Structure 1
Amino acid sequence: MSPTAAAATSIPPPRPAGRFAAVAAVPRPSVGLALTERVAGQERLLPAPLLGLLVSLHRAIEPERRACLAARRERQAFFDAGGLPDFRADTAAIRQDDWKVAPIPRALRDRRVEITGPTDPKMVINALNSGAQCYMADFEDSTAPTWRNLLAGQRALAAAVDGTLAYTAGDGRQYRLRPYDDRAVLIVRPRGWHLDEKHVRVDGEPIAAGLFDMAVFAWHNARTLTANDRGPYFYLPKLQSMEEAALWEAALAHAEAMLGLPHGQMKVTVLVETLPAVFEMDEILHALKDRVVGLNCGRWDYIFSYLKTFRAHADKVLPERGQVTMAQPFLKAYSELLIRTCHHRGAHAMGGMAAQIPIAGDETANARAMARVSADKLREVAAGHDGTWVAHPALIPVARSIFDAHMPTPNQHHVLRQDVHVTRDDLIRPSEGTITRAGFENNVEVCVRYLAAWLDGNGCVPIHGMMEDAATAEIARAQLWQWLHLSDPRGRHAEGRPVHLDDGTAIDFALFEQALAALPGRLGDTAALPGGARIAEATALLDALTRACHLVEFLTLPAYARID
């Protein structure tokens, strides 16, 4: 890192719209840029003018990104010392003033069912052909960011946009895209501000991973998407403040200027998946008001953020993750406040992910899983959400039937939820529940299996009827750390208030060691598991992360050093 990494700089305001159309050329990269890895076809995917765009973006945005990350660390230190998040006094006028976001494009007015997933060619084709209104192509939580994966994903999306993408499976089955008007609307999720792209360095520093993802996609596809009234559209992840939203506004406006696009052409939906962000939803919408079309309840990352924010708070311990459902009061308050906020501002309030997947060979278990999905989607549409997420194509008919039955209009902006009155304490009150031995051991298993697959290049893994990605695995990892460090005398924040299993067994490092030792027998033959050859490495990494004095911010940060 640069010694001036945390130095704050001001974000330049967006330029007048008339100047954007006049910019026709992007400068070639200076000698300050270096690519540290090579794969076949890389030069065609990353031509010199695109590299010039990356250099320009990095130099314009990186100082303020470092300042935002430093602000995150300062805020977490405040929480660790006993502080609590709250609504900001300095932005009260934004919350109280009467304003609206820009009109929503026709292609995004009805988003009742969205499917999400990684960016490999087969997934891209299946998702675009799935019958969902939108497909979120995910470079973040469901993609392991090997250089090969990232470039292959960008190549697949570019081919999908121009209609040439095709895929032939090992058994000879062929996959082709449906006609343009019969496909889902493509929305791309770049990686969050906290992640670097180590394969691209500018002036000796890695470029922000999200800038790389956004810029490469926009460079190749913006003109085609604009001509077809399809974007470019993005999902912005893991924001924690209005300043971080303003930084994305600056980055997107900068890219529009360099690419000759009108200001506001790139539209965004923001995932509210951190606890600090729920207190700044009006402010985040305001910072992006010329291009934002909605907020999304990123529930799994939100639960993880709650755990991380309150990692040192013995009175904020959550039960095992299977019991932390959207019916819990703090999550219900989050969802309903998001709906009220969005509809007051003319924006979509998108529901969250159903992580269940069909369970083949067990009709009873499959029926239970589908019933949980149905109940979850009914809760969302009844509350006033404008759409929802699923992780598997088989869940699209389930979700659509419920939204069609209860939402005859394209969205529910007319459902203003003026009955919702949410306080700070409503948003931070912990949920009731227990920690079972099975729940503890499942957290250990999920972490190890997911990490092994991720290290092997697979960021989206089915485990016990759930589609696990980085967000769901993070809940399991953060819970293990918090339970142990608040309970075991050897822990970082042990306060004499031990956490127990529901059978009275103390949760301590001896219990954790037993679970790790028993894991090979629990997994059996690992040869058929995703990343099976890296189980031992993943086990050692989880052990190190769990014993660390401080909760590592994201498991993908140390794991990233082990790929490529």
Structure 2
Amino acid sequence: MAAIEFILRDVAILGRINESHRKLLTPDACAFLATLHRSFNATRKELLKRRVIRQAELDRGVLPDFLPETKVIRENDAWQGAPPAPGLVDRRVEITGPTDRKMVVNALNSDVWTYMADFEDSNSPTWDNMINGQVNLYDAVRRQIDFKLNGKDYKLRTDRPLPTLIVRPRGWHLDEKHFTVDNEPISGSLFDFGLYFFHNAKELITRGHGPYFYLPKMESHLEARLWNDVFNLAQDTVGILRGTIRGTVLIETILAAFEMDEIIYELRNHSSGLNCGRWDYIFSIIKKFRQNPNFILPDRAHVTMAVPFMEAYVELLIKTCHRRGVHAMGGMAAQIPIKDNAEANAKAMAGVKADKLREVRAGHDGTWVAHPALAKIASDVFNEYMPTPNQIFRRREDVRVSAQDLLNMNMPGQVTEDGIRKNLEIGLGYMEGWLRAVGCVPINHLMEDAATAEVSRSQLWQWCKHHVTLPSGKKVTKELCLKLLKEETDKLEKHAPKGNKYELAARYFASQCTGEDYADFLTSLLYNEIVNTGAPQVVMAAKL
């Protein structure tokens, strides 16, 4: 009987596709994505509504606490997370970065143990970035990613094993408007996870490692439960054992910090631990308590890992993970080597070393770097102080962290005009790059991503809202912020090439730094500027 072609019902691709994209956007893959959407999108939207309700409670002054209804989970010593999966036993240094082809090759050639391929905070989610990133990972998994650029060969090393690949999809709050199901955009999380998982899960297993993920931006254990349900359906659909997928959760919201045990519990057989997403965590503190003058933070430079609320967060995360038998991963070293100033570079690299020394001594099982040159510094520290593949055996039973500890904002530092200008520079610089489809931007020898831009704009909003007093005696007002915004925009535009997007970035930033309107996420605020939808592409399937 001849095959009959038919259109995959109510599924539309609105982004431009080429032949390399077609090998991923197959009828079967699109049908799988549609199944994920139809199974889980209603729950996702309900959980996002719960975030709005919770924010209204916080705005009224209700402070978070450990949940009484899940006390039995926290106090039960009997349950554990999954044992470390193949390729995830030793994770002492992980490199992170976006999924452009050059970055993927360089990251996999780095002297690290894992590579977190990022569809989230270090990525601008244009359609081309998202779908080309999927192509690049598909090719990398099969060792077919070698290419030439500007006369230079980029090839995966063959002399020793490559780092284990971990993929970070977008958070639950983001949509993918270039792919619709039943006339509704699919969740960015489900799109990123589903397309990568569908095409690569079995190939990864054949090569010795399963499909592994970093899960961002969650605010409750119910959001982790949703991921667990997604994992189970996905594994059942393609015919692999439940528990093959592993997910490391980034604890990067203050509300998730109160539910660490519960998050691991929900993911139990799929859990590979928690990570200290430090910059998003600071952003979350400001965002969630932005109406509360008791939570005003000083200049970003003063909000270090040694301040009380950050130290409590780290210690609770390590204790919780090790009690449950899973990894407790450290945070990002965002420094970039300073090639033209040996003294400044030595100082910056000493800072990286001190940060990694703090992490390994605290009990972390691994850490993040943003640049391959930092891998040796981090490796040397962890190799010396953690000779075992991990230190999950360090139970940290000495740690006692209360709700008050997690919310302790006592710290030195003040708000200064220099701090305002730095936040403007970082926010503008990142937003301008993001609008040009660049998701991580080097500014002042640091690799800035969405999280640090969020800290910058949220601090400005907070300072303006509460009319913080500067050392000069001046109050931070809407008028002052907009005046300095114009000055910083003019300064950046003056040295930028033609075609830059600083004017557009400044227009958006002006709406977010005056203590008035506040978008839930900058990425959501800016997203429509990078959406480029066209006529629906027909998805054909074969039916015998």
Instruction: Name the TM tier (shorter chain).
Output: over 0.9
Q: Give the alignment partner of residue 293 of structure 1, picking from 260, 267, 272.
A: 272
1:554 matched to 2:532: no
The answer to whether the 8 A contact 1:139-1:145 is kept is yes
1:156-215 CA-to-partner distances (Å, cap 9, x unmatched) read 111100001013222x11110012852111000000000011111111211110100011
- 485, 498, 503: which is aligned to 2:472? 503
Q: Which amino acid aligns with 1:38?
A: R
Q: Choose which of 257, 260, 265 in structure 2 pairs with 1:281.
A: 260
Q: Deviations over 1:316-374 (max 9, x none)?
A: 10011111110111000000000000000000000000111111211121111111111
Distance 1:550 1:91 in 2: 35
Q: Which residue of 2 aligns with 1:125?
A: 105
Distance 2:279 2:71 in 1: 28
Q: Distance in 2 between matches of 1:92 and 1:513?
A: 47
8 Å contact 1:193–1:209 — kept in the other structure? yes
| Alignment match, 1:37 | 15
The equivalences for 1:183-222 within 5 A come to: 183-222=162-201
Query: Quick one: which of 75, 93, 107 aligns to 2:54?
Result: 75
**Aligned residue for 1:426?**
405
Q: In 1, Cα distance between the equivalents of 2:190 and 2:461?
A: 31
Pairing partner for 1:517 from 479, 482, 486: 486
| Superposition map of 1:273-422 within 5 A | 273-422=252-401
Give the C-alpha shift of residue 272 in structure 1: 0.4
User: Residue 335 of structure 2 contacts residue 445 of structure 2 at CA under 8 Å; is this kept in 1?
Assistant: yes
After superposition, what is the alpha-carbon deviation per residue over 1:298-329, rounded to whole angstroms, capped at 9, x for unaligned? 00100000011110010110011111110111
> In the alignment, is the contact (CA less than 8 A) between 2:489 and 2:503 conserved in 1?
no
Q: What TM-score comes out, normalization by structure 1 length?
A: 0.91
Tell me which amino acid in the other structure corresponds to 1:500.
T
- Higher RCO (CA < 8 A, seq sep 6+): 2
From 435, 447, 458, give the equivalent of 1:467: 447
Match in the other structure for 1:22: none
| Distance in 2 (alpha carbons) for counterparts of 1:248 and 1:429 | 31
Deviations 1:458-486 (A, max 9, x none): 00000001100001110001111111112
Report the 3-state secondary structure (helix = DSSP H, G, I; strand = E; otherwise coil) of the residue aligned with 1:234.
strand
Cα 1:162–1:187 change in 2 (3 A) is: same
Q: What is the alpha-carbon distance in structure 2 between the residues aligned to residue 114 and residue 373 of structure 1?
A: 14
- CA shift at 1:256, angstroms? 1.0
Query: SS at the partner of 1:126?
Result: helix
Counterpart amino acid of 1:515?
A: L
- Distance in 2 (CA, whole Å) between partners of 1:136 and 1:39 is 26
CA distance in 1, matches of 2:484, 2:342: 30
Give the superposition deviation at 1:521: 4.6
The CA deviation at 1:503 is 2.8
The match for 2:157 is 178
- Structure 1 window deviating more from structure 2 (305-314 vs 41-50): it is 41-50
Q: Residue 172 of structure 2 contacts residue 187 of structure 2 at CA under 8 Å; is this kept in 1?
A: yes
Pick one of 125, 129, 137 that aligns with 1:145.
Answer: 125
Give the share of equivalent positions with the same residue, in percent: 48
Unaligned runs of 5+ in 1: 1-27, 488-498
- Matched-pair contact (CA < 8 Å) for 1:245–1:284: yes
1:452: which partner in 2? 432
- 1:50 match: 29
Answer yes or no: is the 8 Å Cα contact 2:37–2:187 preserved in 1.
yes
* Structure 2 letter corresponding to 1:95: R
In the alignment, is residue 479 of structure 1 matched against residue 449 of structure 2? no
Given candidates 108, 125, 130, the residue that maps to 2:88 is: 108
Deviation at 1:232? Answer: 0.4
How far 1:519 sits from its partner (Å)?
1.6
Cα deviation for residue 548 of structure 1 reads 6.8
2:489·2:506 contact (CA, 8 Å) conserved in 1?
Answer: no
User: Is residue 2:138 matched to residue 1:158?
Assistant: yes
Post-superposition CA distance 1:18-52 (Å, at most 9, x none): xxxxxxxxxx9842211112222232220000000
Query: What is the identity, as a one-letter code, of the residue corresponding to 1:143?
Result: N
Between Structure 1 and Structure 2, how many residues are aligned?
Answer: 523
Measure the CA separation in 1 of the matches of 2:499 and 2:338: 21
RMSD: 1.4
Deviations, residues 87-138 of structure 1 (Å, cap 9, x unaligned): 0000000001121112111310100000000000100000001011000000
Normalised by the length of structure 2, the TM-score is 0.94
List gaps (5 residues or longer) in structure 2: 1-5, 533-544
Distance 1:474 1:509, change over 3 A: same
